[in-house]
Each structure stands twice: as structure tokens, then as C-alpha cells.
């Protein structure tokens, strides 16, 4: 029999009245105070007895419990390390899957929305490995259906990834590591588990001039989609958004915009992407002993609105800095730039930013390779807050040995310190010669001094001539990627001690850019 809200109140009032009557006749005939918590408890009891677990009025009948009619697991065509479990239930219900391998552990997928026919993607799987799985359906009030069980086996890795040899020492604090990888046949993004097994990958075999596009700056969105830049030698392909299944969701190609994307991008609110873009300006360089008409390469910052498909410039290095301020002129082959005048011979690389990060104050921090400096731009992008390093830096190093060369992935930490990957290319012999390190500086506005407060320099030395990067993890450790042969990725603590070290090598290896810590590929969680 259905008990409506009025009936519940009648029941509650009756019980409370009985309690009050009993309280009035305590020992000695004196009134006794009824604790308010007792009344609240009685109220909760009445409510629980007259409603279902989902808060709806009870009908007096058993709660609906779905029945799993059928399950089927199959490897996806686009990624042999992702399995789709199809689940059919007799009534609409939410479902999820738990899956297990003795060596890999047990995991649970994210819960899939209510329906009768479901497709549950299963990720974080090792190659050529058999798993058992249990399918669950959720009924009213969160009650679980009977388990429907099965098994599946993953496929083999693509040849290029199968040839990579991974070796590790120590223990990583990150569940997963996301890596970019380039070989002679193509470029890839892949994820390693804590035991250095490849458990996810994305193959991007696009070629330009018989060479693979390099993948840079991979960012994971809240929905687990990935956004990355891909290009080579000033021949950009695009900025892309892909699902973990490898499906292309959105694509910004260089033919769609004025500035040529390169190196880095940031994910902003409302599906906007901020990115670095190459721009060109013709200048008279005769005063410096050069030509009267020289095409110079600089940088701008642009925002791609994925909702409207439009792109606009929000910052321009030519507007903020003079080309007279330079460390060196670096000449690069001219490949032809869409929308720019044709020119034979070479262009001059003046500004070449290689990382773009948001600081703790909403400011934008850029590392500029060609000028050996890091700069901060105000949150409104209207002015330069400071310049650190290079020919016009405002902060002075305590010693010449503190200076950095060819910086990458510069970031401003929550305490205002600057962390950067110092490639060390071009470091003079009297400052120690060419070696690579990660260094953290404190910047003082009082005396405009830059003080080295932390450094990680491996022993023996490693030299990452190009690429590479370093990120401070939430736990205070630092994740570092060296673009060396073999590739080296380390996690180090605040004392500079290596907690974990990965070395990766293959005969076809050409280079890597960054390493990222991940907790999940598609929302899956590890079950203890």
C-alpha cells in the first residue's frame, strides 16, 4: 500500500506524541526533557520505512532489479589495447565492468548512463594478455544485479611500439605515465603502467616530406580526450583533439588560420585552446651588417574557439620586444609560409618560444629558446611583467654558473619560483660546458636577484641537446624527460634523489618531447 507524505507525518506525530507522554511521567513524576536527537532519529526512521533508497515514496513492493541478459567483449579495431564490453539488460539501468589480471591487478570502469543496450569501453590493458571481467547493473536505490562474467584477450602492439625496450629502477608515485614517441615510420602517444607495460597507445602515422610529424604538448581534458600539436620543420599539421579510442573530435590545421601553430598549447574554459603561433616580419638588418630586407620569425599567442571554429591573435612578440635585442641570429631553411611573401634562401629565427604555461596569478609564462630566457605576460596579455635570463633579463644571477641555455617547459610554481628544463646547449666551457639539468630559481624584486634554490643534475651527466621537459608533481616530486639515446625519464624528490628511472630504446627511435603523469585513461580506477 502506498504511503503518501501526509500519512508519514501522521505516523511521525503519533510516535513523537507517545514519547512525550512517556517523558512527562518520568521517575518521581517530574517532567523529563526529550533529546532533540531522539526526535530526529525517529523522524529518520519513519522516513526510511516509508521511502525507497532513491528517495521516492515506497510502493510497498520490492525495488526493481535489472537482469543482465547478455554480455560480449571484443577488442576495438582502432586500438588493440581497448576492449568494448556490450551489455544488454531487461530494463534501463546504469552499468559498469570490473576486470582483472593476476599480474596487472583489478580495475573498475566508469559507470555508463542508464539504457538497455550498453557499450562499456575498458582501458589500461596490457598487450597480448587475458583478463576476466564481471559486469554489473545498478537497480533502484543502487542495488546491484547478479554478476555476469566473462573473459577477453587483448591484441598485440603495433610493430613500432613492440620494438621499444623499457627498463626501470625504483618505484614511480604515478599510476600512469603518458609519453610521446617518434620513430622513422610515424609518431605515437602511449601510456605506461607502474611496471613499464604499455597499456594504451595512439598511432599518428601522418608524414611530411617522407618524415613523421613530431607530437608535442599533449594535454588531457576532464572528459579524458587528448589535445596535442603535431608538426615538423615549420610545416605544421594541426592541433588535434582525440578520444582515448583514437577518434578525431576536432582539428585545427595551418590552412585554417593565419599563424602557424607550434610547440605548445593550453586548455582554457569553454572549449578554447590557447597556443603558440609562428609569425613573420620583414625588417631592415643592414645596421647590424645584414641585408636590407630580411624575413624574421617571431611568435604570437592565439586562441582557437572550438565552438565557433575561429582563431584570433591575443599577443604578439613584435609588438612587445625589439628585434635589436637578440642573443644570436639563427638561420633556418625557408619552407614557404602560407600567407607570406615568397622568399628564396633562408629566414632568420629571432624568437622561438617552446613552452606556454599559466602561472599561479593567471599570468602566462613562456620559455624562449633562441634568447635563453623566460618571460611572464600579465593575465590580460597587455604587458610583459618580467624577463628572466638572456640579453635583456632584469634578474641577475648569483654566479655565472647559474645561467641557463636553451630552456624548455618553464613554469611558475605556487610559491612564485621558476622551474625550468635547462638543455645546456651552447653552455660555455668556463660555466661547465654542455650538460642538461633541471633548476628552480627564486626571483627577488627587492634586489632583482635570481637565486638557485634547487637543482637536479644526473650523475653521470646527460645532454639533451633539444626537446625535453620537467614538471613539478602535486606531491612535490619532479618528473623529467631527457631526449637522449636511450630516452631517460626520472622522478626525483626535493633532495634530488632518483625515486624511479625509466630507460627506453628502439632501433627506429628519433626523439621524444615530454612525459606526463596520469591517474586514468578513461575514468577507470584501481581496486584494492
Concatenated DSSP letters for 247-274? -EEEEEEGGGSSSEEEEEEEE-GGGEEE
**CATH fold label, 159-527:** Neuraminidase (2.120.10)
**For 371-390, what is the mean pLDDT?**
95
320: enclosing H helix or E strand = helix 317-320
**Grid cell at residue 118:** 550498453
Backbone angles phi, psi at 86, to 5 degrees: -90, 130
pLDDT over 90 percentage in the chain: 60
pLDDT for 241 beyond 60:
yes
Ramachandran region of residue 354, left (φ > 0), alpha (ψ -120 to 50) or beta? alpha
Please, which pLDDT band fits residue 282 given cuts at 50, 70 and 90? confident
Lowest-confidence segment of 144-153, 255-264, 284-293, 337-346 by average pLDDT: 337-346
Please list, in sequence order, all residues whose beta carbon lies within 8 angstroms of the beta carbon of residue 186, skipping any fewer than 6 positions away: 160, 203, 204, 205, 206, 207, 212
Residue count of the chain, please give it. Answer: 528
Q: Cell numbers 622568399 correspond to what residue? A: 343
CA dist., res. 211 & res. 470, Å (int): 27
Q: Are 299 and 325 in contact (CB under 8 A)?
A: no
Give per-residue pLDDT as tens, 506-515. Answer: 988 888 899 9
What is residue 332's predicted lDDT score, i.e. its pLDDT? Answer: 74
CA dist., res. 528 & res. 522, Å (int): 19
What is residue 255's predicted lDDT score, i.e. its pLDDT? Answer: 59
Beta-strand relationship, 83-101 and 130-138: antiparallel
Backbone angles phi, psi at 171, to 5 degrees: -135, 130
What is residue 253's predicted lDDT score, i.e. its pLDDT? Answer: 76
What are the angstrom distances between the C-alpha of 333 and each of 146, 273, 345? Answer: 66, 29, 7
Taking alpha carbons only, the member of 118, 120, 153, 147 closest to residue 134 is: 147
Q: Are 469 and 179 in contact (CB under 8 A)?
A: no
Q: Are 317 and 351 in contact (CB under 8 A)?
A: yes
pLDDT for 254 beyond 80:
no
Taking alpha carbons only, the member of 72, 73, 132 closest to residue 104 is: 132
Ramachandran region of residue 210, left (φ > 0), alpha (ψ -120 to 50) or beta? left
Average pLDDT, the chain: 85
Domain ranges of the chain: 5-50, 68-153, 159-527
pLDDT for 117 beyond 50:
yes
What is residue 343's predicted lDDT score, i.e. its pLDDT? Answer: 60
What is residue 221's predicted lDDT score, i.e. its pLDDT? Answer: 95
What is residue 288's predicted lDDT score, i.e. its pLDDT? Answer: 75
Backbone angles phi, psi at 482, to 5 degrees: -100, 125
Taking alpha carbons only, the member of 315, 311, 306, 418 closest to residue 357 is: 418
pLDDT for 74 beyond 80:
yes
Q: What is the 3-state secondary structure (H, E, C) of 271-290?
A: HEEEEEEEEEEEECCHHHCC
Tabulate helix, strand, coil % of the chain (nearest 5): 15, 50, 40
CATH superfamily of 68-153: Immunoglobulins (2.60.40.10)
Give per-residue pLDDT as tens, 284-333. Answer: 888 877 788 888 889 999 999 998 888 899 999 999 988 877 666 677 77
Radius of gyration of the chain (CA): 30
CA dist., res. 486 & res. 504, Å (int): 6
**For 231-235, what is the mean pLDDT?**
72
**Grid cell at residue 174:** 604515478
Concatenated DSSP letters for 365-432? EEEEGGGTEEEEE-TTSSSEEEEEESTT-SSEESSGGG--SSEEEEEE-TTS-EEEEE--TT--GGGT
Q: Among positive and negative, which fits the CA dihedral 332, 335, 340, 341?
A: positive
Taking alpha carbons only, the member of 211, 266, 269, 219 closest to residue 237 is: 211
Beta-strand relationship, 346-349 and 294-305: parallel
Bigger pLDDT: 323 vs 393: 393
Bigger pLDDT: 4 vs 479: 479
Amino acid at each position: 500500500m502506498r504511503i503518501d507524505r501526509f500519512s508519514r507525518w501522521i505516523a511521525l506525530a503519533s510516535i513523537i506524541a507517545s514519547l512525550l507522554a512517556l517523558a512527562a511521567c518520568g521517575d518521581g513524576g517530574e517532567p523529563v526533557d526529550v533529546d532533540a536527537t531522539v526526535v530526529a532519529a525517529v523522524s529518520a526512521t519513519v522516513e526510511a520505512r516509508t521511502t525507497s533508497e532513491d528517495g521516492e515514496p515506497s510502493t510497498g513492493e520490492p525495488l526493481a532489479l535489472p537482469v543482465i541478459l547478455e554480455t560480449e567483449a571484443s577488442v576495438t579495431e582502432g586500438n588493440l589495447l581497448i576492449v568494448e564490453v556490450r551489455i544488454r539488460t531487461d530494463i534501463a539501468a546504469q552499468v559498469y565492468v570490473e576486470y582483472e589480471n593476476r599480474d596487472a591487478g583489478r580495475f573498475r570502469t566508469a559507470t555508463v548512463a542508464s539504457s538497455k543496450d550498453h557499450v562499456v569501453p575498458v582501458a589500461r590493458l596490457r598487450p597480448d594478455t587475458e583478463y576476466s571481467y564481471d559486469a554489473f547493473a545498478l537497480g533502484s536505490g543502487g542495488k546491484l544485479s547478479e554478476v555476469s562474467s566473462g573473459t577477453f584477450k587483448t591484441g598485440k602492439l603495433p610493430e613500432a611500439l613492440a620494438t621499444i625496450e623499457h627498463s626501470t629502477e625504483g618505484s614511480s608515485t604515478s599510476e600512469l605515465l603518458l609519453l610521446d614517441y617518434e620513430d622513422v615510420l610515424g609518431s605515437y602517444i602511449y601510456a605506461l603502467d607502474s611496471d613499464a607495460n604499455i597499456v594504451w597507445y595512439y598511432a599518428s602515422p601522418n608524414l611530411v616530406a617522407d618524415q613523421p610529424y613530431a607530437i608535442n604538448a599533449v594535454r588531457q581534458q576532464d572528459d579524458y580526450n587528448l589535445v596535442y600539436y603535431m608538426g615538423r620543420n615549420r610545416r605544421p599539421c594541426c592541433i588535434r583533439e582525440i578520444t582515448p579510442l583514437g577518434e578525431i573530435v576536432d582539428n585545427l590545421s595551418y590552412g585554417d588560420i593565419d599563424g602557424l601553430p607550434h610547440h605548445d598549447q593550453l586548455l582554457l574554459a569553454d572549449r578554447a585552446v590557447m597556443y603558440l603561433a609562428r609569425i613573420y616580419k620583414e625588417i631592415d638588418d643592414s645596421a647590424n651588417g645584414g641585408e636590407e630586407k630580411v624575413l624574421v620569425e617571431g611568435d604570437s599567442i592565439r586562441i582557437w574557439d572550438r565552438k565557433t571554429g575561429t582563431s584570433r591573435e591575443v599577443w604578439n612578440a613584435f609588438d612587445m620586444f625589439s628585434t635589436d635585442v637578440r642573443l644570436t641570429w639563427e638561420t633556418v631553411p625557408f619552407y614557404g609560409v602560407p600567407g607570406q611573401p615568397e622568399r628564396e634562401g633562408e629566414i632568420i629565427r629571432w624568437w622561438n618560444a617552446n613552452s606556454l604555461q599559466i602561472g599561479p596569478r593567471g599570468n602566462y609564462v613562456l620559455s624562449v629558446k633562441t634568447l635563453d630566457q623566460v618571460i611572464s605576460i600579465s593575465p590580460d596579455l597587455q604587458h610583459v611583467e618580467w624577463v628572466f635570463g638572456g640579453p635583456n633579463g632584469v634578474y641577475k644571477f648569483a654566479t655565472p654558473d647559474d645561467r641557463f641555455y636553451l630552456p624548455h617547459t618553464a613554469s611558475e610554481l605556487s610559491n612564485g619560483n621558476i622551474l625550468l628544463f635547462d638543455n645546456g646547449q651552447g653552455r660555455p666551457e668556463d660555466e661547465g660546458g654542455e650538460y642538461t639539468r633541471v633548476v628552480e630559481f627564486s626571483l627577488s624584486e627587492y634586489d632583482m636577484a635570481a637565486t638557485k634554490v634547487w637543482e637536479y643534475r644526473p650523475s653521470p651527466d646527460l645532454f639533451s641537446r633539444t626537446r625535453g621537459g620537467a614538471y613539478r608533481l602535486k606531491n612535490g616530486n619532479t618528473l623529467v624527460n631527457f631526449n637522449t639515446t636511450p630516452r631517460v625519464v626520472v622522478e626525483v624528490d626535493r633532495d634530488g634523489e632518483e625515486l624511479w628511472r625509466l630507460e627506453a630504446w628502439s632501433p627506429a627511435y628519433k626523439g621524444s618531447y615530454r612525459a606526463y603523469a596520469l591517474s586514468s585513461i578513461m575514468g577507470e580506477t584501481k581496486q584494492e
